[in-house]
Amino acid sequence: MLTPPPRFPLAVLPTPLVLAPRLSAALEREVWIKRDDLIGFAFGGNKVRALEVLVAEALDERCDHVVGCGGPASNLCSALAAAAATAGLGCTLVLHGGEPGVTHPNLAMMRAFGARIFFTGDPDRASTPEHAAAAADRLRSRGRHPYVVPRGAASGPGATAYALAAQELASQLTFRPAHVVAAVGSGGTLAGLLAGWATFDLPGTLVGVAVSRPLAETRREVIRLSCEAASALGIGGPEIDRLRLLDGLGAGFGRADRTTSDAARLALRTEGIIADTTYVARAVAALESLGGPLVLWHTGGWLSCVGDAMGAGHG
């Protein structure tokens, strides 16, 4: 039997599932959009679902502080800072690199929500979790009780939130999609959806567009997190043959190329849909290679899109 995790309420659910008629006409196939960009909390997009579970866990463990890591353009870090404020928790964010020349809107919001911010001085994205662990140790030595949020909020418990999102989609579908498509970074979102896919009897394939890491590595991570989420929920393991991954790395993580920028413009100008070039526009670009009907899982990234328009760079 499915045991849903405790959640600290942040999101406005369910998010709408809407037909995109002009995007459908432009791509000559039926496209629906699952609007997690309208999640209703702090421009947070998909990250808000995971944060509901992680913040509940932090409160349950009687923590008084959250520690997160990422880059100056991180959607997770900015949503985490907001969630910490809502829950009355302190927030420390460890960001790779140094203070950027142009302040990304997500960095501006991290500060606006009252988070304390440290730059590692190391441009390597992969080194931030170590620095976050050290920041948590420093907090403990001062008598605080920090909760460390994993990179990308990607953990088994965090991913359970998207297994429940698969149930939410199943309850909204009035047609049988051939493919449901989402951008994949740390993998937690797709992992959770995959965990819920068979349990909630969703049709078609779940297509992930890998924007952050090479395909094989992304696949391993998605499957690992999906198994963890399924076991946390007490449901059967994921049906891996329902999963398909496409390469969306292009010029590299956060580096827009022509195809991505064109896809972002298409979404903006056909539907007024905000698609950032790091994540969502790459999922939009992938639609062309897939037969319909399609569901594009819009994972958010509004402030990244504002950053794109300002030329702030994803960093």
Ligand X SMILES: *Cc1c(COP(=O)(O)O)cnc(C)c1O
CB closer to ligand X out of 199 and 226: 226
Site for ligand X in 38-77 (CB under 6 A): 45-47, 75
CA-based end-to-end distance of the chain: 43
CB closer to ligand X out of 109 and 139: 109
Binding residue for ligand X, selected from 84, 183, 202, 207, defined by CB under 6 A: 183
Angstrom CA distances, 260 to 76, 250, 255, 263, 272, stand at 22, 8, 9, 5, 16
Tell me the closest approach of the beta carbon of residue 12 to ligand X, in angstroms. Answer: 17
Is the omega angle on the peptide bond into residue 177 within 30 degrees of 0, that is, cis? no
Does 279 bind ligand X (CB under 6 A)? Our answer is: yes
Does 301 bind ligand X (CB under 6 A)? Our answer is: yes
Q: Taking contact as CB under 6 A, which single stretch among the options 186-194, 235-243, 259-267, 284-292 is the one that binds ligand X?
A: 186-194
Does 300 bind ligand X (CB under 6 A)? Our answer is: yes
Is the omega angle on the peptide bond into residue 293 within 30 degrees of 0, that is, cis? yes
Does 185 bind ligand X (CB under 6 A)? Our answer is: yes
Tell me the closest approach of the beta carbon of residue 255 to ligand X, in angstroms. Answer: 16
Does 299 bind ligand X (CB under 6 A)? Our answer is: yes
Applying CB under 6 A, the site for ligand X has a residue count of: 19
Q: Taking contact as CB under 6 A, which single stretch among the options 111-119, 166-174, 182-190, 307-315 is the one that binds ligand X?
A: 182-190
User: Contact positions toward ligand X, by CB under 6 A?
Assistant: 45-47, 75, 152, 154, 183-190, 279-280, 299-301
